[in-house]
Structure 1
């Protein structure tokens, strides 16, 4: 908390009944920002102190908590709200130029914001034993305030010279079997997130240009977690993601290096018309791109899907059980069938398709539903933190703004947990009664 020394007589109990300032109180009390404040004050030295560092910082946090889309919107709020100025430690409303200088200083100290984020993740991991066991990964498109690349490449503080065009393609199948496709294009950036899927809170993030590949940045996120939160990778059991992260190297890495079971949807990459492939070492067993394994009756040639028999960790194989044995169906060729006793499918046959949790199993479908946790986090960033109508230009400023928003989100959650309000942990906006 950035403590304001000159407001020692002010009591939080005086504003607690107001309710609307509770979220700001949680952030100010539980955000581990003291090291950053001390560093910024030392950097300022003996210069002018019309607007103290801690007061400016607190007002910036207030702007995020109260969903102000711009600095001017925040300044108007401070101008008419004396209580908010008092809480932040301001005697007067800072000028727009003062905020510009302060933002520039914060952008130069981006690593300190990342350190605060890491401290909050660690604190929540200590408070919540299950925090980090189920992870979900996704990226979020953030359109730039600029609508297109600028022809003028000279930096003047107004142009966005860092943004790039991004494309996301969504595909699916309708109930009647027909396929659909939706293509989303934007000019701007991507926020890449790993979240705790149970508590719907971020645990790692990066911000890139909109053109950055999800798969490539997925590896970067794992690298960052290995460097910053190795204990969480050891704790994690499952990582879910959509088909944008369908990559054999990423899937293999999750299991081989960290023991995390990847639950990542597959893209359709086989050649047109290729429905199944022969399982190596067998003459009457095939598999499809969705991971289902089928056997053919040697007598009639009828095809049946084999049942799941679990995962053998020591062998690195999935067990598949004869459908006649599993379901009690009649198979005329069972006596001479070479796979009547079942088969073992090694993950190495195709690391993209075969994973420790069988893709066609009920367990895989259940785990995959946790993927929507990251979508809800993205929605909160849009609705509760103003990314739908921001005025941000430039990659450095976007990284700062995303980092601050995620720190505020975690600080609120940590405050709720520590104050025995865990059921309100994801409550970012006060409900209107």
Structure 2
């Protein structure tokens, strides 16, 4: 008899909460990963760097496990069907995994839990993807926070309430590596077996650069500088422990730690207000009359708006799967305020393109930019792309890299005039709120 640890958004052996509890159990642990066709079939581009990244991570994991006399069982299909097959194939005592917070994942886990229960197999899940989740940081009256700053203060209070540093302690999984199920010759699919191809997009190496984390507050707003950690995809798929990142942030860089608190905040919002996944956090904005001009949306997607900073960001995204965070705010504000295109259009485009796409953070960021979400930018604040450029790329280095023709005659004229667009946006929002 064995137990199974189901890897999902936690592709590492080190400091993994669910894996730690699994390995401490009585039965040997067989690691499992499922390439979920319910998710993969929705990906239009079969050259998706995220799928390739996961595949490469699993190869690395398999190599580590092989040194321990074990291997990972990799499956491809619908989770429920795969679990039915596994239940018939193995004598399973328990299944362990880590929490996921997205609507589809919650529904999937509910189905799997019920299926396992029918077969007298317990399903045990643990917090691993964030520092605080669900009801762990609430207002004094027990309600969830809707504004970030008081949430972040309470978050820090809770963190510091443990003198032992309990919340950031690593799970010492390595103590129990001998408890992996001993096996060999498990089939490992090629990327092409999954229906995907290799891409030309390069994934940033996993590096917890303490100097960058220390200087993050001074460098993070300048897209031409190599001033961000590029940890997004690693936090998204759990190739680095959030506890490890937060420990370094606490010691070296409070601005960086603040970004991790934002991450927890948006996961909490998605948990308590699941309607945000499909609409405005503040329902009063449902009356907004979006223009939703498809030609203008296409120009935005392709980086051909005539606003160099916007176009640079979109071209960077399309080519690399990454966009600098300051520029994400500028491009999102431009789409929702200058063009009055529904934030959900932009959210969906980023979801397709971003290597570090995370539903909670992507949704939170877009609703912030549109003014419809928690802690939102006020509707009357409309980023001026030119002043943003002067402030954060005054030498034009970022612009020249991504839009080399921006000073040439063949560069498109601005798709809309800033002053006109600003007034139109403010009036549109006012009408919706009256």
Q: TM-score, normalised by structure 1?
A: 0.24
Greater strand fraction, Structure 1 or Structure 2: 1
Of structures 1 and 2, the larger Rg is shown by 1
Q: TM-score, normalised by structure 2?
A: 0.23
Greater helix fraction, Structure 1 or Structure 2: 2
